[in-house]
Amino acid sequence: MDIIELGDDVISGTRRALARAITLVESQRADHRVQAGQLLDYVGQAGRQALRIGLSGTPGVGKSTFIESFGLMLTGLGLRVAVLAVDPSSRRSGGSILGDKTRMDRLSRDPNAYIRPSPSQTKLGGVAQRSRDAVALCEAAGFDVVLIETVGVGQSETMVAEMSDLFLLLLAPAGGDELQGIKRGIMEIADIILVNKADGDLKPAAMRTCADYTGALRLLRKRKRDPDGFPRAMTVSALEDSGLDQVWADIQALISWRRDQGYWDMQRAEQARSWFVEEVRQGLLAQIETPGLLRDRMLQLGDEVARGQSSAAGAAAKLLELVKTPDESLDAGPGTA
Ligand code: GDP
């Protein structure tokens, strides 16, 4: 396939080209990985940036309802919105539950919105890697906002936070007056906590829950990258579209402050660097796991370790010796003065 042509079509905002491009970056085939790298380099030259918003919440909390309402509000403001999902469980549970278009029917029919379900891979790390590439493609395609949805399970929030400019945590009103079983870690990565379903009978409980979280957030150590008043908790109703304009106003206030302070650029640079390191790490692992001499040797050394003939450390050192590149070949490489 012609990568330059595909790249140009992505940049011109052709939806089918974007879909094809995302399929390409999601592929694990070695030749596709090379093409994906070329494509990402090419479209990256367009220098476009979207606002990347991570969003997490347990099933049933109202993520799809929120994304639909919030997304439609944004497109109503003339913005183009992409929705991507990072789903750690898509394979095991036999079917993706995130980023499913039927969950966001009206938004999926909006010409200024694009919804893409989670790539289907067994490893969460792989899903996250490919989703980062999809985010970059959506940026190149000229979307103003990229919403990255995930469920409240294990590592997925951290991974989504690492590819986002800011992170929203969606909660439901608690029954009692104690905090829900939210791990401290996720509270620490949230920039805005949204207590959803603040409507009808649930409204008083939502207000209480919000007050509880406001109190809990005050106890967290102040982060350098936050202006006064952040992270914050607020109530919304995705169903009744209430509070969503305030969410958008708060997001913009936070982001413009971070831009002014230089934290936006700093965070993007750090994320890009760790993204690169992660790609290399995964690539090296894939190289060892690909059928071939290296993998044969690894299996062989594994047997020796299992039989007690070799220590794990000793066998690993032997294998790594085989992967090592002589320093001379690096000297001649590009980028050296
Ligand atoms: P998800 O699994 O997190 O995507 O949750 P959904 O968006 O599918 O919502 C789960 C249920 O909660 C559905 O029955 C929604 O209608 C309901 N729901 C979502 N948002 C609200 C809200 O703001 N208020 C009320 N009362 N119900 C809501």
pLDDT, greater one: 286 or 234: 234
> pLDDT value at position 287?
81
Whose alpha carbon is nearest atom 7 of ligand 1? 62
pLDDT band with cut points at 50, 70 and 90 for residue 119? confident
Structure confidence by residue, pLDDT tens digits, 190-213: 999 999 999 999 999 999 999 988
> pLDDT value at position 182?
63
41 pLDDT above the threshold of 90: yes
Structure confidence by residue, pLDDT tens digits, 223-260: 888 998 999 999 999 999 999 999 999 999 999 999 99
Query: 42 CB contacts (<8 Å, ≥6 apart)?
Result: 3, 4, 7
User: Could you tell which of 103, 107, 239, 242 is best to mutate to test the pocket of ligand 1, judged by most ligand atoms within 8 Å of the CB?
Assistant: 239
Q: Which domains does the chain have, with CATH numbers?
A: 1-45 (1.20.5.170), 48-261 (3.40.50.300), 274-324 (no CATH)
Whose alpha carbon is nearest atom 26 of ligand 1? 197
Query: Which DSSP string do the residues of 214-246 spell out, in sequence order?
Result: HHHHHHSPPPTT--TT-SEEEE-BTTTTBSHHH
> pLDDT value at position 309?
94
Structure confidence by residue, pLDDT tens digits, 295-320: 999 999 999 999 999 999 999 999 98
82 backbone dihedrals φ, ψ, rounded to 5°: -110, 145
User: Could you tell which of 65, 100, 105 is best to mutate to test the pocket of ligand 1, judged by most ligand atoms within 8 Å of the CB?
Assistant: 65
Stretch 116-123: mean pLDDT, rounded? 73
Structure confidence by residue, pLDDT tens digits, 147-200: 999 886 667 888 888 899 999 999 999 865 455 556 667 777 899 999 999 999
